[in-house]
Structure 1
């Protein structure tokens, strides 16, 4: 769910000290940061489960904790002198006090809206400055720079020429817009971070601690390791499975790439290709249901639609994305003459599932609750609670015996399911409390409790960069709301698209890719969807499809040179140029570039509006037809990109394959018929030529 913590990758490697996991610092300062992270998680979990505080208070405290933990970790991991450490800790506590101020004076601030006191202005100014500094330190300069340009526009936009001029705003109005209320820093992005994203990041952390990564790796290795290009296929499948719980991108490259990239290189893949496979598959985790990336939750909240609708729209595109990865690995392996791993040496995938099947229960519960119409907050909380029950129950199973524990476990699950509509969270809370008391009585149980506490701390640390990005991007949203500059951009796109929708789509795509050169997917999506989303909607693009279009190209920006974050994250592991990896990744991610365009012209690809085929034959037939076209297009583009199908392809064959794929996507009169005919001719001629070459040899 989270973007990678820049500060963690830049921090020096440290050895666990005094029982603390790495990543928090050493000594007393490390213990303080660790404790803050645990309290942060407990605060967010409590408010998610019981919702006792007003939303404005939860948002302000969420930002306060982000600033306290963020500056605390900067002090512990980056500061090189005692004075610098004191300075950053001081900034962190000031940031936390801004949240406490909003909590203590919550009612007073509401009552004096429009008439802020001098203290309010000081606190608001301090909050904005600290959010900018935290963003610069944690997320890098580009995002803070973009937000700073928007903020300066609020102050000085009244001096610009038309059409960019606005009426002008005084200092107090700007501070109130950004630092109080729900239009700036405490806007929708930070609400989603506090309500949804944090829960799912902690959920993923607990699942990882419970052994879900090992299960996914063993399952992927056993299932596809023997296929042609086995190690690369394992990377694709394991990243797809990891995407179902984490939705992270660059962080997945660093985590799983340590294992998959060296394995691919030893097997015979080129370093650039090995790095590209890991980068492409890991970034696909953000579009892989059911959890997807943090953007999916922001999208659901922005569009005011159930999260399940976002998941449904993403199912087929996610299948096509990873299917394209599998297919191009298959072709590249054939071109290089590579087979698969020795099946006898691989683990049994189904044995791994039988051994660790309880880990699938929280994920199954999550999927059921999301599609049953429950809120993501409730679904994530219940999934997390079940995971905690599983982790705490493991030492008890060893103590009382597996059979007795199974009886107790299923009895508790049965009772919870029977009354969970009304008392689900309360029942699981009591079960967790009972398990904690039981585990505290013996050594193995206490070790398990320590693992849970570490998971709380690491979950908060993993959620930190996402939360900071959501806070700083509130400056951009607040500017768009205050000044109305978005309408100028929307009018520009509409003026182009009323005659040429394709040009508007290309313009939107380029905007996403350019923004993505310096900022993560979340602010990229929020900025671009605020500018281009309404314009695409005006041009007739369905609501969810228009936002998914922006979402996809925000992800593609992390794979596209010259600044491909995922590719450069894989570069040190692959020992290859990040630029070369980015070029290979752009080829592998062909579905990510094409599917959004296909969905605009044929929304059935995202299970949206029905088209002419549905009117004649029914909606399922249209979906199947669109899926067939998309799959055939991916087959052709993969062959054209790699230069291999049944054998090495000639240049004219690759051009024919590329043209046939484009005809299938264009969705114009007779282009489908021409595309199918050209595809059949291309594949037939290439098969005949390859068979002829084999007979001649």
Structure 2
């Protein structure tokens, strides 16, 4: 095996993520500063758990503390420039900015009573603190997330202040500096608004849940399970990448991180089997990006929908299930046709893992099953995430090297004893969470395991890694809050929505197309959370104005914000994949976009046919929609790859794509036309055997 076909080392993976993912660009610290950061991250996670389980604080206290933790840690972990990161040393201004971040975070809690009394007015000290908060958020966002979202937030601030000088419909009366500063940091409509609120509750806990999952070894297990399920199939390694990346996406909200971690394992396998470098990278990029579309966890932006639309998370996850399945089905179909075209088989017996050993570890999937059950049961999202963390820790105790019968006995005793204790206390405990037998039993079992094994390191590492992962999200949501605040203050959202509808002449397909372009452009180099905030406040209302329901409209912009990661010319996930495969970045991006063609079609489909999101539909209708959609994806896949049962002629490829689109478009007339085309093409595949280009032979194949 050549050096290029070997799995990447941890150092090489980190280098790639730092190159293509700003949120991974941390400096390597040592000495006392490293310890300060370590305990700061640990304290961040402990505080978030305290807020969740023990004592809920008012929004104006909790959100600034959440922000203050992130600002202080970002300025210590993320350098101002790449050159400073390579040096690994902190400058004096890093310490200063970190201290100022703490001050900004503590200002609200310390001045809470006075600020509430003043309500609609701020004094001079408030004004300077507000200015400082905006500057620190923008600089922290630049360091931890990247320049694009920072520039956008800055432009929105400029628009708010210089509104009187704006041309045409963009003109507004302007917002004076005092009013602007007040709305940005002393209301819950700016930095401390809905995006940061979601980060401070739902997102942080789910990132923590993902971090605990990683500590159980579930990431490697996803790879082993994917190889066991798909490794022997035609073009096996590519299908392994699809399964593995879909599973990895449930614990990671970053397309680039998915590509680098699972791609360092799957891409060398694909290349060894015979896939082209750019195609191998494209498969991994497309599959890894789709991880954010896959329930039950999805990307961080999905949690923002809870607040933006006002529906529960289970409804969102349930609605996203069928589109996500269709997305990965499309990639699967095209990798299959590519493998058939090139005569690529699956992995050999020697390359396959031991099935018995893999299936013995199926218990590692229990936390994901538990999350689905918790969400479906009607439990709040924040409590479902907390229960998921407890479940993950319990599953970690089932590992052979740590398993003790004592833990099972302890859990049973706790499940029985906890309600009894609660009755004895007559509900005196302020924390209603302890009324759950599961939680009481879980906590007791975990405490006993720590006393028996004395192994705290996995839990500590998970708490620290979870907080580190959250830093970029906190910065992005704080910057997104600036954008939302300006949109609210100036009425820009409705103005842009109306202009977009007018530009499209009130045609739904044209409006969707313009919205797609806007979401992709905004998503190039920006985190999904920030992209979704912008498009959901500016572009989604345009779709809703034309009579589309809220959920399809918001999922539409959500989809295109995500697939910007694989859309050239700025396709970060594809560029990261090319770094693993050694392929050409733009070609890798083109392959990824071609493989993910379903993601460019499905959003149109569920806007025009919301039954695909399980909205106002019957079981039989859903079955028919799924049948036509999957059949259409098969035809489109054959047309895109140029192979079905044999290599296809150019006219067959055109007809296959047209027939596939007809099957996907809602309506019985289009379904009928698509099915006729589909049947005719299959007949042609078997009736005409292509011996040479342009010379068919009428002989059954």
Fold shared per TM-score above 0.5: yes
In the alignment, structure 1 residue 318 sits paired with structure 2 residue 324: yes
Per the alignment, in what secondary structure is the counterpart of residue 358 of structure 2? helix
Question: Does structure 2 retain, via aligned residues, the 8 Å contact 1:646–1:686?
Answer: yes
Give CA-to-partner distance per residue, 1:198-230, whole Å, 9 cap, x none. 101111111111111122111111111000111
Q: Deviation at 1:68?
A: 0.8
Alignment of 1:217-232 (within 5 A): 217-232=223-238
Q: Deviation at 1:325?
A: 1.3
In the alignment, structure 1 residue 375 sits paired with structure 2 residue 380: yes
For 1:676, the equivalent position in structure 2 comes to 675
Question: Does structure 2 retain, via aligned residues, the 8 Å contact 1:388–1:432?
Answer: no
In the alignment, structure 1 residue 439 sits paired with structure 2 residue 450: yes
Alignment of 1:257-276 (within 5 A): 257-276=263-282
Per the alignment, in what secondary structure is the counterpart of residue 648 of structure 1? coil
Question: Does structure 2 retain, via aligned residues, the 8 Å contact 1:283–1:566?
Answer: yes
Give CA-to-partner distance per residue, 1:497-542, whole Å, 9 cap, x none. 5642100000000101111123121111111111121221121112
For 1:9, the equivalent position in structure 2 comes to 18
Q: Deviation at 1:670?
A: 2.2
Structure 2 runs not aligned, ≥5 long: 1-12, 423-430, 691-695
Give CA-to-partner distance per residue, 1:307-364, whole Å, 9 cap, x none. 011011101001101111111111111111100012464124464232351x333222
Query: 2-side partners of 1:427 and 1:259: how far apart?
Result: 37
Alignment of 1:417-428 (within 5 A): 423=434, 428=439
Per the alignment, in what secondary structure is the counterpart of residue 532 of structure 2? helix
For 1:492, the equivalent position in structure 2 comes to 499
Deviates more, 1:557-566 or 1:406-415: 406-415
Cα distance change, pair 557–404 in 1 and its aligned pair in 2 (3 A):
same
Cα distance change, pair 31–516 in 1 and its aligned pair in 2 (3 A):
same
In the alignment, structure 1 residue 569 sits paired with structure 2 residue 568: no
The one of 180, 189, 192 aligned to 1:186: 192
Question: Does structure 1 retain, via aligned residues, the 8 Å contact 2:493–2:541?
Answer: no
The one of 83, 87, 93 aligned to 2:93: 87
For 2:367, the equivalent position in structure 1 comes to 362
Q: Deviation at 1:495?
A: 2.7
In the alignment, structure 1 residue 553 sits paired with structure 2 residue 557: no
Alignment of 1:106-505 (within 5 A): 106-343=112-349, 345-349=351-355, 351-357=357-363, 359-391=364-396, 393=397, 402-412=404-414, 423=434, 428=439, 431-432=442-443, 435-436=446-447, 439=450, 445-446=453-454, 448-496=455-503, 499-505=506-512
In the alignment, structure 1 residue 518 sits paired with structure 2 residue 525: yes
Question: Does structure 2 retain, via aligned residues, the 8 Å contact 1:219–1:350?
Answer: no
Per the alignment, in what secondary structure is the counterpart of residue 269 of structure 1? coil
Cα distance change, pair 660–8 in 1 and its aligned pair in 2 (3 A):
closer
Query: 1-side partners of 2:227 and 2:466: how far apart?
Result: 27
Q: Deviation at 1:386?
A: 2.1
Cα distance change, pair 355–415 in 1 and its aligned pair in 2 (3 A):
farther
Q: Deviation at 1:176?
A: 0.7
For 1:538, the equivalent position in structure 2 comes to 545
Query: 2-side partners of 1:322 and 1:301: how far apart?
Result: 28
Q: Deviation at 1:55?
A: 1.7
For 1:616, the equivalent position in structure 2 comes to none
For 1:64, the equivalent position in structure 2 comes to 68
Cα distance change, pair 498–97 in 1 and its aligned pair in 2 (3 A):
same
Q: Deviation at 1:52?
A: 2.6
Cα distance change, pair 6–127 in 1 and its aligned pair in 2 (3 A):
farther
The one of 37, 56, 59 aligned to 1:55: 59
Cα distance change, pair 525–398 in 1 and its aligned pair in 2 (3 A):
closer
Question: Does structure 2 retain, via aligned residues, the 8 Å contact 1:69–1:92?
Answer: yes
Give CA-to-partner distance per residue, 1:547-603, whole Å, 9 cap, x none. 011111111111100000110111211111211111000111011111111111111
Deviates more, 1:497-506 or 1:65-74: 497-506
Per the alignment, in what secondary structure is the counterpart of residue 690 of structure 1? strand
Query: 2-side partners of 1:346 and 1:681: how far apart?
Result: 39
Cα distance change, pair 439–23 in 1 and its aligned pair in 2 (3 A):
farther
Question: Does structure 1 retain, via aligned residues, the 8 Å contact 2:145–2:476?
Answer: yes
The one of 576, 580, 604 aligned to 2:611: 604
Question: Does structure 1 retain, via aligned residues, the 8 Å contact 2:248–2:262?
Answer: no
Cα distance change, pair 591–102 in 1 and its aligned pair in 2 (3 A):
same
Question: Does structure 1 retain, via aligned residues, the 8 Å contact 2:687–2:699?
Answer: no
For 2:426, the equivalent position in structure 1 comes to none
Query: 2-side partners of 1:549 and 1:55: how far apart?
Result: 30
Query: 1-side partners of 2:137 and 2:436: how far apart?
Result: 34
Deviates more, 1:169-178 or 1:88-97: 88-97
Query: 1-side partners of 2:520 and 2:351: how far apart?
Result: 43
Per the alignment, in what secondary structure is the counterpart of residue 670 of structure 1? helix
Give CA-to-partner distance per residue, 1:121-156, whole Å, 9 cap, x none. 111100100111111112221111111110100111
C-alpha RMSD over aligned residues? 2.7
Query: 2-side partners of 1:518 and 1:206: how far apart?
Result: 28
Q: Deviation at 1:480?
A: 0.3
In the alignment, structure 1 residue 595 sits paired with structure 2 residue 602: yes
In the alignment, structure 1 residue 29 sits paired with structure 2 residue 33: yes
Per the alignment, in what secondary structure is the counterpart of residue 68 of structure 1? helix
TM-score w.r.t. the length of structure 1 is: 0.90
For 2:6, the equivalent position in structure 1 comes to none
For 2:50, the equivalent position in structure 1 comes to 46
Question: Does structure 1 retain, via aligned residues, the 8 Å contact 2:29–2:88?
Answer: no
Question: Does structure 2 retain, via aligned residues, the 8 Å contact 1:7–1:74?
Answer: no
Question: Does structure 2 retain, via aligned residues, the 8 Å contact 1:216–1:242?
Answer: yes
Cα distance change, pair 532–248 in 1 and its aligned pair in 2 (3 A):
same
The count of aligned residue pairs is: 669
Q: Deviation at 1:620?
A: 1.2
Query: 1-side partners of 2:435 and 2:240: how far apart?
Result: 37
Deviates more, 1:54-63 or 1:488-497: 488-497
